[in-house]
Structure 1
């Protein structure tokens, strides 16, 4: 039996593996499902088994899982392609007889009413219909979704959104990785749904104020209409289909759809979630 991480060379996947190792899981007990062996060379050097497979090639997934494996399906990054990709993983996991399939979905699950959630909802339905033992990790927003753009924010002195004063209960990516490690190594998580979010919800105005405080440079929140935000994003080179999804997410934030602070994440990881201020400070250090 192995703990198997799909998308293992991605940002979340690497953090989950690091968390598993930190918790004492031996490297020989972890398998990384990756498309590119070279990108995972560092994992192999640490003694982690590499299983080469591609979400887009279902036949390659035949050897990705074994009977009794505990599997983390990290959602794919190709928006619009994820349902067939995830379906291939679910089918392979069922055929192999895995003991657990944990999936990183989206906060709110079937109640999430924004476009980006559609593929996650469809994937959850596929998992439930498959009969595979499951754990659903409905992840809220990563604070790094915002701090990754800090250089641009500082350059322009503004956070641009169409969120209004809507709030986001984000947490650091490492917090979500820790939660995944908990459910993959512990007991009592099968058939369970976790709504994962940060302990504190914040507005874009508060985010701008925190960046100002930490950087010493004035940053404001510029709230614009959805159409204007779409024009800003496409003007910056974001492909229009993806820009439209980002604008739609901001509308969801405006409606309060990502503001829930139910506490599942902190309870799972046994500590408070990482404060916004800490993630901002770390991102500034890395600039």
Structure 2
């Protein structure tokens, strides 16, 4: 039995779909969600949909019953994730899970990106559990740019940030989901010593290069404006981003300038068995979709 938590979210749903596409029988996949109504399409395909809430430990034991391999998709509530993840890891230990796979962040043990601290603390909990594990240290999603930055860039003619000429090894959610599915279906993945993958796109890019790709794909002039961290954070809050999250995003851009979100490991390409999605193709698709 393969269990995926957060299965109604963007990444978790893609992992479940990828498992089905790989031929894993639907009845051997468990999708753990807070709201089963949001996974009705998965249930219709024969996937077992179970209620499991990171904040309600009493739901997690039944949700993980019979699980051999578990993908713990990191929670989205910054500041709450360590106790939430601890609840899942404790339930996995009690359930006798044979392999736990966790979606962490690139360079979690050295990164200055604010989100890294909770990921690193969770990695330590995974290691302390004594379970065989795989840490998928995911880089930034390309969708962070094609869904969030693109509309603003087209409206203003500028991509804003604080990344300088730092490079970000972004890849699509589908690329990262394929890597998770590959690990979950690999008989050799359950190495008792644990495995760590540093995952990122094949062609790291600067935000100036992102702006150039948007300009080329759209036919409109778009440039990159590099701003001081506090100025960028204010611009984000002025655009409606909550202040706390705006500060995280601005600090993450500074992390990009320091190399925290780039890698040349090639781990993602090897796991998915193909080149990662390029920036150019992702931007073209997003522009075409409107």
| Structures share fold, TM-score greater than 0.5 | yes
Structure 1 counterpart of 2:230, from 227, 231, 250: 227
1:142 is the counterpart of 2:141: yes
1:187 maps to 2:187: yes
Deviations 1:212-267 (A, max 9, x none): 00111111101111111011011111111111110110000011111212100001
Corresponding residue of 2:109: 110
Correspondence for 1:131: 130
1:50 aligns with 2:49: yes
Please list every run of 5 or more consecutive structure 2 residues that lacks an aligned counterpart in the other structure: none
- Any idea what SS the aligned residue of 1:168 has? coil
- In structure 1, the residue matched to 2:207 is 204
Contact map agreement 2:67 2:97 (CA 8 A) in 1 = yes
Q: Is the 8 A contact 1:234 1:243 kept in 2?
A: yes
SS of the residue 1:20 aligns to: helix
How far apart, in 2, do the equivalents of 1:114 and 1:141 lie? 11
Partner of 1:175: 175
Normalization by structure 1: what TM-score? 0.98
Q: Does the CA-based 8 Å contact 2:160-2:227 persist in structure 1?
A: yes
Task: Note the C-alpha offset of 1:62.
Answer: 1.5
State whether residues 169 and 200 of structure 1, in contact with CA within 8 Å, keep that contact through their aligned partners in structure 2. yes
Task: Describe how 1:1-287 pairs up with structure 2 within 5 A.
Answer: 2-149=1-148, 150-190=150-190, 191-287=194-290
Q: Is the 8 A contact 2:2 2:67 kept in 1?
A: no
- Asked whether the equivalents of residues 107 and 139 of structure 1 are also in contact (C-alpha less than 8 Å), the reply is yes
Residues 6 and 32 of structure 2 are in contact (CA less than 8 Å); yes or no, is this contact kept in structure 1?
yes
Q: 2:246, 2:199 → 1: CA distance?
A: 25
Instruction: For 2:108 and 2:187, locate their aligned partners in 1 and report how far apart those are by CA, in whole Å.
Output: 23
Q: CA RMSD in A?
A: 0.9
Query: Structure 1 residue 109: deviation in Å?
Result: 2.2
- Confirm or deny: 8 A CA contact 1:67 1:99 kept in the other structure: no
Q: Taking structure 1 as reference, are residues 74 and 68 closer, same or farther at Cα in structure 2, changes over 3 Å only?
A: closer
TM-score by length of 2: 0.97
| Gap regions ≥5 residues in structure 1 | none
Give the whole-Å Cα distance in 2 for the aligned partners of 1:18 and 1:42.
11
Distance 1:203 1:48 in 2: 40
Q: Which deviates the most, 115-124 or 257-266?
A: 257-266
Write the distance in 2 (CA, Å) between the matches of 1:69 and 1:188: 14
Find the residue that maps to 1:188 and give its secondary structure.
Answer: helix
Aligned residues: 286
Matched residue SS, 1:4: strand
Question: Using the alignment, how far apart are the partners of 1:113 and 1:187 within structure 2?
Answer: 34
C-alpha deviation, 1:172, in angstroms: 1.1
